[in-house]
Amino acid sequence: MRSALRFKLRALGGLVIVFALLIVVRLYFVQIVHGANFSFKAERQYENSSEALYDRGSIYFTRKDGTLLSAAGLGTGFRIAVNAGNLEAPEETYQSLIQFTDIDKERFAAAALLKDDPYEIVATRVESEVGERINEHKPPGIILERERWRTYSGDTAAARTIGFVAYDNDNTLAGRFGLERYYNDVLVRGNEGLFGNFFAELFANVEDTLSDARQARAGDIITTIEPVVLEKLGSVMKGVHEQYGSKETGGVIMNPDTGEIIALAVVPTFDSNDFSHADPETFGNPLVEHQYEFGSIMKPLTVASGLDVGVITPSSTYNDTGCTTMNTATICNYDLKARGIATIQGILSQSLNLGAAHVAGKLGHERLRKYFSDLGFGTETGIDLPSEARGDIENIKSSPRDIEYATASYGQGIAQTPVQMIKALGALANGGLVVTPHLVRAVKLPSGVTKSLAWDDPELVFDEETVEEVTRMLVRVVDTELRHGELSIPSMSVAAKTGTAQVPGPDGTYAAGRYFHSFFGYVPAYEPRFIILLYTREPGGVQYASETLTEPFMELTHFLINYYDIPPDREVGRDV
């Protein structure tokens, strides 16, 4: 009997403890996790509100030390509305209000005439301090109401990557463009989010990672973008764009081992906080939506393919005639000059089109096409941005002609997005692997738990020995050829290559004087922390990318070395 009584008492005690724990956890969520939202909601109950409380998850940049910096959040303030039926002296009321904040006079006057309308908004996004001052002297007929809205701390920085929030066709606020759109289902929140089943939220997320970024649960998103690097890249790209009057200029900095994009920038851009006055053409992101013929930065990939399959070696040579004819079409080196017996190193050092075409011929159609396909050309990268283009390699998919493969080997006749290009080139910087470029590393759930996102496993395309040999060649390009070696860093190995491509017109023919410049490189060359891709479209008054992008690339390289305190990887003063 006593045993049964003790069991019942223990069971009852256990239930009391569990119930107490439930109350404690619930109080934690009410007061800590959702405290600000409940407080804001309670305050709104004392106002006349015409709509539900606006809420949306935040977007964060990640600084190099791991701390988070807001990229997109919520601004808090007031809106001002007029109840014309209670408005006693419209002109005096207007004059009293404009002492505190700007209100359009015509808008106010029109609202004052609507005697049968008890609620007509005349001002929005009034700062909290201003709203509080107005509230102290609020005249009859004026309604002061709390509101929240989307704000972007970077203004123009990363605007074409983050996007913005606007009304959609259903008259609902939703993410438009960029991360706001791609992760809209994660960021969007309704009022039920404050009172949802918090235990389901906690225990439904036991996994360490989320297998698919697009299936992430609601919350805040934490990006891989480093704000200081972002600001520097944007400044450098703006300088190039303005100096040469280009039609478009952009850049990407990525960790080649993980695919994490540290920074990306495009000029022209717009202000996310004032997008209604921006050119809609600037809303999309050309880094994933536009495809270009990149020119000679394709040559290292062609050389790597030839080395990898064994049709050439570092000591191979070929007879460079300056120009050659294939399938009735003539292709030439950039300067039309023959080199005679030329080396594989010379293909990269002197950027020889005929050398790349020679390697393509050795590879053959099927093997070149396979390498380029395995590198991701002609498919989406899987990056977490909307409206990604697939690129265009139809010339080497559908044509049996040698000329198509020859031109593809040096980056003409096939087109890629900048992100596809850096994804492929990243294989030279990470031991031959193709990784998935991405911008978001984690989702912070409403429960406070942060869950990392998982991305596709890297795929091996080149042997490690192959990319090490190509890297050695690209380091030599910087040490001896780029501005005759004047920009070489004695204490740091840097691998890089320029690219200049002709720009096709609407009819498919190449127009004289129109060029697409590109530049890529990675540092430190043999254990890269970063890979950089820069481009500028149709710069004025210059022909070669070495003229427009060399200094910007080296400026960014020095900045990254200093900012991340990257130690030297070779002895100062040794032969390079």
Q: How buried is residue 280: exposed, middle or buried, by Cβ count under 10 Å (0-12/13-18/19+)?
A: exposed
According to DSSP, residue 53 is labeled: P
- Is residue 562 scored above 90 in pLDDT? yes
Of 28-37, 65-74, 257-266, 304-313, minimum mean pLDDT range: 28-37
Token code pair at residue 145: 């109401």
pLDDT band at 195 (very low <50, low <70, confident <90, very high): very low
pLDDT value at residue 201? 46
pLDDT value at residue 2? 57
pLDDT band at 181 (very low <50, low <70, confident <90, very high): very high
pLDDT value at residue 50? 43
- Is residue 572 scored above 90 in pLDDT? no
pLDDT value at residue 575? 45
Please answer whether residues 60 and 230 qualify as being in contact, where contact means their C-beta atoms are separated by less than 8 angstroms: no
Distance CA 218, CA 197 (A): 13
Spatial neighbors of 473 by CB under 8 A, at least 6 apart, are: 300, 303, 314, 344, 345, 348, 349
Place of tokens 């394709």: 298
pLDDT (tens digit, 9 = 90+) per residue, 316-357?
A: 999 999 999 999 999 999 999 999 999 999 999 999 999 999
Tell me, yes or no, if the pTM score tops 0.85: yes
pLDDT value at residue 167? 87
Spatial neighbors of 47 by CB under 8 A, at least 6 apart, are: 143, 144, 145, 146
Domains of the chain (ranges plus CATH)?
75-153 (3.90.1310.10)
Helices assigned H by DSSP within 246-296 = 286-289
Coil/strand/helix, residue 484: helix
According to DSSP, residue 115 is labeled: T
- Is residue 209 scored above 60 in pLDDT? no
Token code pair at residue 336: 């039309």
- Is residue 51 scored above 80 in pLDDT? no
pLDDT (tens digit, 9 = 90+) per residue, 271-290?
A: 999 998 899 999 999 999 99
pLDDT (tens digit, 9 = 90+) per residue, 369-411?
A: 999 999 999 999 999 999 999 999 999 988 899 999 999 999 9
